[in-house]
Each structure stands twice: as structure tokens, then as C-alpha cells.
Amino acid sequence: MLSCKDFSQRVSSGNEHELPLLTRWQMRLHLMLCSSCRNFNRQMQVITRAMRHIAREPERYTQVELSEPARQRIQQKMHAAMRQKNQ
């Protein structure tokens, strides 16, 4: 029987390459018995789908524009932090 730690490591490995049949069966058995790992597995599936979606349209998610007021607030806070650090 897999421990939860082993299960989580194999879930991560399974995203990178196909796991052996025995390992996949061990994981299925563990999922039937462990609600925490079922939740973890669902979360990993959501994250994986989101990453694949982002990979298909990277320009949509990598170009972020701030409004001018937001840019000014950030700049003011950075200047204030620098002044405080130099005092």
C-alpha cells in the first residue's frame, strides 16, 4: 500500500511520464481508500488542465497591463520603502 507521500510523488511523476501498470493500480487502490489524496489528485488535475490551457494561448496570459493609477500607487510605495530603508 502506498503512503500519501508516495502517492503525491507519483502523481507529480505521472504528469511527466507514463507510470508502470503496477504503480497505476497501486495509486487507484490508494485513491479508493484515501479522501485526502482524492482531493489532492483532483487539485492536480485542475492545475494541469489550467497549465495546458495557458500553454495553448501564452500571449493571452503573459501580457499584463496596469492602469496608470495602479502603476503610480506601486511606484509611490516602492519609493517610500526605499526612503525608509535608507534612513
Domain positions in the chain are 4-86
The whole-number average pLDDT for the span 8-13 is 89
CB 40 within 8 A of CB 33: no
pLDDT at 66 over 90: no
For position 57, what pLDDT does the model report?
86
For position 1, what pLDDT does the model report?
84
Q: How far is CA 36 from CA 14, 28, 41, in A?
A: 18, 13, 9
The whole-number average pLDDT for the span 15-41 is 93
Residue-averaged pLDDT of the chain: 90
